[in-house]
A and B are shown apart, each in its own frame.
Chain A
Amino acid sequence: MKELLQKHKQYLLTGVSYVIPFIACGGILIALSLTYAFHFHLLNDKGAPDPAQGPWFVQNMFTIGVAAFTLFPAVLAGFISYGMAGKPGLVPGFIGGFIAGTPQLVEGKNVSAGFLGALVIGLVAGHVVNALKKLPIAKILRPIMPIIVIPILSALIVGFLMLALNLPIAKVFLHLNHFLESMESGSQIVLALILGAMIAFDMGGPVNKTAFFFGVAMIQQGNFAIMGACAAAICTPPIGLGLATLLARKRWTEEQRESGLAALGMGLVGVTEGAIPFAASDPLRVIPTIMFGSMIASTIAMLGGVGDHAPHGGPIVLPVVDKPLIYVLAIVTGAVVTAVTINLVKQFTEKTATPAK
């Protein structure tokens, strides 16, 4: 059972690894064109920024970004299925994911099963293809299996299933959105704390990605606060640890001081992975500390009403963030808290604890 779950995690992460560049590309292009429209007051009749009124370049940049984002559920499901079933998994995975990403009208709002639906249908597609591969087939028919029988049969099965699943999954998202919107400030803090802890916990691993994708999904639904909280939490661990090596140089080894500078750089462009060299050598002290720092950053961002329009974190997304000053404040506070805490923790435990490798 444990092995089965492990395998499925591997399939999901395979899809995630292929989809990350799509999200970064689409998200940043969309965010840049929205920022342009916002800055020059090109608003539609609902008061939202409208890049279609911008110059030729901005309009097209928006279209290109939207194209990358539209592909996202299809690519995600396609490569989850590919990870499980190989080449024959691509057709039903892409089709299922495409259907999951197609918006439909529910309770007067345009929603899609999106990321969540794509995750589920990608796994289903992989299983369907693997089952079809096992069908007993006469030898003369074998060549047509991979190019005709499996693609058509699996696409039909997965397609119909996704069409049936679409509405319930879209409704879950809608309810989640209602729930978040209706949250009082008290429970908003809880949400921000959870997101911050998740982002820092495995620095780019599956737990981090779950929180991250939740933020991305919420951007698609027009809620930017979740991603705002995530964005602040994403860059706090590497920046905080880098800062710590600068603040107390003699407490860190030569090697760590070097990775400290690299961590600062990675933090600035929103790559939590920069903290890994520290956490790998000293997880018991580093991981709780960076979780603490990220929780503080995400909470400040959430309470301050920071919104992030791009599915990415760190100071690099500053131009597309609502309330940039509070965003910076959140990151700086989180980073300083991380740096001071880890140095204090090291000071009080260095002699008793086993030395780091």
Chain B
Amino acid sequence: MKLVAVTACPTGIAHTYMAAAQLEKTAKKLGHTIKVETQGAMGIENELSQADVDAADAVIFATDIAVEQEDRFSKARKIQVPVQAALKDPEAIFAQLK
């Protein structure tokens, strides 16, 4: 599957990036392609364009705070989980996609 994801935690220096790395690693392992946008203390990095979102089958929000520019995802199929879920058991998130 083609996926996009957004990760964001309150402090935006550790969890955000660790969750992004976990999602990328797990997606690769399960044979999905994924692009992960991080919304950390530095602001939006690796930004998802509207085209990225439209081309994706689903979007994963691994976020503890409100997502920036959420209107980009208004039409997409969404899965919302806490950041912790992406760190502890990323495969369970991908299982929700089936």
Residues of A at under 8 Å CB distance from B?
9-11, 13-14, 16-17, 20-21, 82-84, 204-206, 209, 271, 273-274, 276-277, 280
Query: Is there contact, CB below 8 Å, between B14 and A209?
Result: no
When the two chains form the complex, which single residue of A17, A273, A280 contacts B65, counting CB atoms closer than 8 Å?
A17
The stretch of B5-13, B28-36, B50-58 that contacts the partner chain: B5-13
A271 x B87 contact (CB < 8 A): no
Q: How far is the CA of A17 from the CA of B44 in the complex (A)?
A: 13
Q: Which of B64-98 contact A (CB under 8 A)?
A: 64-66, 87-88
Query: CB within 8 A of B41: which of A10, A13, A20, A206?
Result: A20
**CA separation between A61 and B19, bound complex, in Å?**
37
A305 to B11, CA, bound (A): 29
Jot down 13 A-B pairs with beta carbons below 8 A, ordered by A. Answer: A9-B64, A10-B64, A10-B65, A13-B10, A13-B64, A16-B65, A17-B8, A17-B65, A205-B64, A276-B14, A276-B15, A276-B18, A277-B18
For A271, list chain B residues within 8 Å (CB).
13-14
Neighbouring B residues of A9 by C-beta, 8 Å? 64
User: Could you say which of B15, B18, B66 contacts A14, with CB atoms under 8 Å apart?
Assistant: B66
Shortest Cβ distance from B42 into chain A, in angstroms?
A: 10
Residue of A nearest to B14 (CB): A273
Give the size range of B's interface with the partner. Answer: 10 to 19
Q: How far is the CA of A21 from the CA of B42 in the complex (A)?
A: 11
User: What residues of B have a CB within 8 angstroms of the CB of A206 in the complex?
Assistant: 10
Residue in chain B with minimal CB distance to A21: B41
Nearest Cβ on chain A to B29's Cβ, whole angstroms: 14
Contacts of B13 in A (CB 8 A): 271, 273
Q: How far is the CA of A14 from the CA of B12 in the complex (A)?
A: 11
Which are the 3 A-B pairs with shortest beta-carbon distances?
Answer: A83-B66, A273-B14, A14-B65
CA separation between A280 and B89, bound complex, in Å? 10
Q: Say yes or no: A20 contacts B87, CB within 8 Å.
A: no
Q: Which residue in chain A gives the minimum CB-CB distance to B8? A: A17
User: Measured between alpha carbons, how far is A134 from B39 in the docked complex, in Å?
Assistant: 29
Do B65 and A13 touch (CB < 8 A)? yes
Query: Can you name the residue of chain A whose Cβ is closest to the Cβ of B65?
Result: A14
Give chain B nearest CB distance to A156 CB in angstroms: 25
Within 8 Å CB of A84, what residues of B? Answer: 66
In the complex the two chains form, is B14's CB within 8 Å of A280's CB?
A: no
Complex Cα–Cα for A82 and B63 (A)? 16
Chain B residues with CB below 8 A from A10, complex form? 63-66
Bound together, the chains give a CA A204 to CA B9 distance in angstroms of 10
